[in-house]
Amino acid sequence: MESIIIFFGILVAFVVIAKIVNAIKGVKASYIDSFRLDSEEQTLFEEKEGDFYSVSKLGQAKIMSFARLKRTHAIFTSKRIIIGQKAFLSKKYMITHILYYDTTGHLGKELTEITGGLYSLGYQVFSILKDQITPEKDGNKSYLKLIPVPTTSATNVEHMRIYSDGNLTKLVEGLQV
């Protein structure tokens, strides 16, 4: 019984320390509901029942299968892809990743950090090239394969996948314009 009390005490200490660090650093969770697009940015497509997975370069299984839990809300805009995951015990989608289509350097700081902005922005930032977004199949499941530009934030990321039930070929063609 004593070990259980110690275990829960350590968990509480982790939560308290995390809240203190986040308060000092100014990191706040960003939600899709309250996230504002830039003035010249347009929404091209929204996937409200998708799934997002990051496939690592090292330490991955030879055969992988990804569950379709439909927990991801992805917004494809003219400048970026905004990925939100359903927060635990919530109906809101917390932004976890933002994938920019360019490498012009306005994201310099986050792209050069191994955390990709996770501890400064509250979500990870990657840069991808539009012409390397391809529709793929995993059995009977369709997904978009996104290959990140090799930056520090993408050190151990081989590619990312956004599973969708929509017409991915049409979406990719729309992004290429």
All structural domains of the chain with their residue ranges: 1-28, 31-176
Contacts of 78 (CB under 8 A, 6+ apart): 40, 41, 42, 44
Cα dihedral sign for 121, 123, 125, 131?
negative
The closest alpha carbon to 107, from 126, 88, 90, belongs to: 126
pLDDT, position 165? 80
The closest alpha carbon to 163, from 27, 63, 72, belongs to: 72
User: 48: which 2 tokens?
Assistant: 């409200």
d(CA 168, CA 121): 29
Is the distance from CB of 157 to CB of 59 less than 8 angstroms? Answer: no
What's the pLDDT tens digit per position in 2-51?
999 999 999 999 999 988 887 887 777 788 888 888 888 898 888 888 88
Mean pLDDT, residues 100-104: 73
Query: Would the pLDDT of 113 be above 80?
Result: no
Residue of 83 and 106 predicted with greater confidence:
83
| 33 phi, psi to nearest 5 deg | -55, -40
CATH code of the region 31-176: 2.30.29
